[in-house]
Amino acid sequence: MLVHAITANISYEFAADVRTGLTKPGQKELLSKYLYDDVGSALFEVISHLPEYGLTRADERLLRRHASDIVERLPTPIAVAELGSGSGKKTRKILEALCRRQRTRYYPIEISPSALAMCERELSDIDSINILGFEREYLDGLLEVAAQRRPGQHLLVLFLGSTIGNFDRMAGIKFLAEVRHILQPGDSLLLGTDLEKSSAQLLAAYDDELGVTAAFNLNLLARINRELDADFDLAHFEHLARINPQSRSVEMHLQSLRRQTVHIPAADLAVEFREGETIWTESSHKYSQEEVCQMARTAGFRCDVQWIDDQWPFAENLLIAE
């Protein structure tokens, strides 16, 4: 796989974002995209196998069951771009179905270099596939993909795993509208969305018994230690998952177990923590079935089909750019 990578200024941006997030008045915050370094991407793969985290299996079941149906609804010729592909495992069924019909160019877009490498290993054996990865943020990557488009070629964008849920609701609609803006009428977006379910099911999914999600979350502090030379003592922070009923989301936090000061030299920062104070690291918003179509319409898409999993409330939505 050919990969276009941007490496310059990544540490500088990381330091600046850590500084902004940890000096915020009120709730301290770290951006969820920084959860995915090499260790974080590997831990996310393990999370997707946990019995409590039914989301990935539901997404995978829907893609496996409906891959031919999805592909039959798409125009030809078509190229595929995937936002935050991760390992790309679930994408295999869609790509295999497409590659039976035409030679297919697949563009995974990822900020995690190790996830991008996993994706190549996972999918490069498919017949008639041509993979070109972009180590970029979602929209920067999609703009580059759009620039490679040949005359008459359509585009299918995949945004799976309910990663849309990491945006708050308004930001999610704005993001979909930005994606729509890069697309042309008739292009498609296959959007995975996790649906509302019981608090007990959600809390178990984001705070598993084995502690893998806790390690995934705490790795963000370890990453700051590794890359920004900080002195977070991981034994003095604890993973916390909680439901936010107002925003209908599950939030992940890192809670300080004592009063402490942490030094982050590369961000030119010393941060005070009170006992019990938290750093908010991720939100995962949950949706009603109808709400997803409403969001899609507001962003300029038509909701063509929704497939719902019968074991774990999750919707695969095929959206068409109007």
Interface with ligand SAM by CB under 6 A: which residues?
Answer: 33, 36, 41, 44, 48, 56, 84-86, 90, 109-112, 115, 137-138, 160-161, 163
CB of 263 to ligand SAM, least distance (A): 27
Q: How far is the CB of 223 from ligand SAM (least distance, A)?
A: 13
* Closer residue to ligand SAM, CB minimum distance, 48 or 256: 48
- Compute the least distance from the CB of residue 32 to ligand SAM, in Å: 7
Min CB(276)–ligand SAM separation in Å: 28
Question: Measured from the CB of residue 214, what is the shortest distance to ligand SAM in angstroms?
Answer: 16
Smallest gap from residue 243 Cβ to ligand SAM (A): 19
| Closer CB to ligand SAM, 139 or 269, in the complex | 139
* Peptide bond between residue 77 and the one before it cis (omega within 30 degrees of 0): yes
CA distances from 151 to 130, 184, 201 (A): 18, 12, 47
* Nearest to ligand SAM of 91, 306 (CB atom): 91
Judge contact between 86 and 161, C-beta under 8 A: yes
CA dihedral 239, 245, 250, 255 (to 10 degrees): -20
What is the rounded distance in angstroms from the CA atom of residue 39 to the CA atom of residue 23? Answer: 26
**Strand 269-273 versus strand 104-110 pairing type:** unpaired
Nearer to ligand SAM, 154 or 165 (CB): 165
Residue closer to ligand SAM (CB basis): 97 or 160: 160
CB of 237 to ligand SAM, least distance (A): 22
Between 86 and 98, CB nearer to ligand SAM: 86
Closest CB 224 distance from ligand SAM, rounded Å: 17
Distance CA 304, CA 120 (A): 30
Q: Which CB, 194 or 271, lies closer to ligand SAM?
A: 194
- The residue whose Cβ lies closest to ligand SAM is 161
Report the residue number, 271 or 299, with the smaller CB distance to ligand SAM.
299
